[in-house]
Amino acid sequence: MAAIRDIEVVVFDILGTLVDEPRGLRAAIRAELPTSSDNASVNALFTVWQQHREHEQQRIEQGRRTYANTAIIDAEAAQRVADHAGLTDPAAVNRLATAGQRLPPWPDSVAGLERLTQHYPVPGLSNADRTTLLRLNAHAGLRWHQALSAEAASAYKPAPEAYQLALDAAGCPPQRVLMVAAHAWDLRGAQAQGMRTAYVRRPVGDPPTSSDNFDWQFSGLSELVSAMTAK
């Protein structure tokens, strides 16, 4: 297992790890579809959104669709939600399509990131497209040394090309670069590229299985930051 003192650069996943994406998307659906505001209806429409995104990203990963960024896929997902709910107002559909730009941070994200950036170079690495990532970081108050979009590689994590963006930016051996995420699938992708890995538990994350062997696991971001900044 790596020693924390050997880490030079800390890379963060953003969606789900630093911002609560499901809550933000559900809130957007509820705001645009007040007649479908009960939890069961909102959850059903959120599932429509999720399933479309996952399906399309899998098609891209499998080479069955040319790369399309998250702005395009989210617009498609928003239209599917609108079709299911009978929403026909173009302005409302557009607000849904851009909901990913307005996701709320987890309570410990802003302060934790601020503390860590005083000790390490800290880039973010997200599947979100460049424009969404720019506006999301501003909305959530996330302050980075660099924010990297997998759009630059025309790929989605866990494709190797996405992690290579972070490794190229870090400028040091992969074993000195730590990938932090609330998703085991993301950490497996980083691990395959030689990066160190830290799982941070979130209510909406993808927890490790018994076969995962990540370098560190933390119950929250504050615990990770304390471990990495301890003298």
Q: Any idea what the CATH number is for the domain that residue 71 is in?
A: 1.10.150
Mean pLDDT of all residues in 90-104? 98
Residues 75 and 96 in one domain: yes
Give the integer Cα–Cα distance in Å for 87 and 74: 16
Residues 12 and 118 in one domain: yes
Give the integer Cα–Cα distance in Å for 150 and 42: 29
Residues 62 and 94 in one domain: yes
Give the integer Cα–Cα distance in Å for 209 and 146: 31
Q: Residue 89 burial (CB < 10 Å; 0-12/13-18/19+)?
A: exposed
Residues 138 and 216 in one domain: yes
Residues 43 and 96 in one domain: yes
Q: Predicted confidence band at 12 (pLDDT cuts at 50, 70, 90)?
A: very high
Residues 61 and 89 in one domain: yes
Picking from 74, 101, 128, the residue at the C-terminal end of a domain is: 101
Residues 89 and 156 in one domain: no
pLDDT higher than 80, residue 35 = no
CATH code of the domain in which 10 resides: 3.40.50.1000
Which pLDDT score is estimated for 3? 79
Picking from 49, 80, 101, the residue at the C-terminal end of a domain is: 101
HSE-CB of 210 using CA atoms within 13 angstroms: 0
Q: DSSP states of 10-41 as a string?
A: EEE--BTTTB-HHHHHHHHHHHH-GGG-SHHH
Residues 93 and 45 in one domain: yes
Give the integer Cα–Cα distance in Å for 33 and 116: 39
Provide the number of structural domains found in the chain: 2
Q: Predicted confidence band at 231 (pLDDT cuts at 50, 70, 90)?
A: low
Q: Which domain holds residue 126?
A: 4-20+104-229
Dmax over Cα atoms in the chain, in whole Å?
57
Q: Predicted confidence band at 60 (pLDDT cuts at 50, 70, 90)?
A: very high
pLDDT mean across residues, the chain = 96
Mean pLDDT of all residues in 212-229? 96
| Residue 82 CA to its chain's centroid (Å) | 24
| Residue 208 CA to its chain's centroid (Å) | 17
Residues 191 and 132 in one domain: yes
For tokens 């997200």, name the residue. 126
pLDDT higher than 80, residue 210 = yes
Q: Predicted confidence band at 4 (pLDDT cuts at 50, 70, 90)?
A: confident
Picking from 34, 69, 101, the residue at the C-terminal end of a domain is: 101
Q: Predicted confidence band at 34 (pLDDT cuts at 50, 70, 90)?
A: confident
Residues 67 and 124 in one domain: no
The pTM for the full model equals 0.95
Residues 11 and 30 in one domain: no
Give the integer Cα–Cα distance in Å for 104 and 154: 26
Residues 91 and 118 in one domain: no
